[in-house]
Amino acid sequence: MPDFLRKLIGLLLIFATVGVASCQALVASCSSSSASAPTVLTPRG
């Protein structure tokens, strides 16, 4: 495999895994509070 192609695939994989997991973690931390706050605050029954 040519060096250029190997590095391109490697970088794409890094972006697709590290980048996506990081962004998902950020989205989850921003959105979960708005979802979880009402469940905590809403009285049962």
User: Minimum Å distance from CB 37 to other proteins?
Assistant: 8
Rounded Cα gap, residues 28 and 41, in angstroms = 20
For residue 4, state whether it binds other proteins (rule: CB under 8 A). Answer: yes
Total residues found in the chain within this entry = 45
Nearer to other proteins, 40 or 45 (CB): 40
User: Minimum Å distance from CB 45 to other proteins?
Assistant: 25
For residue 35, state whether it binds other proteins (rule: CB under 8 A). Answer: no
Rounded Cα gap, residues 35 and 26, in angstroms = 15
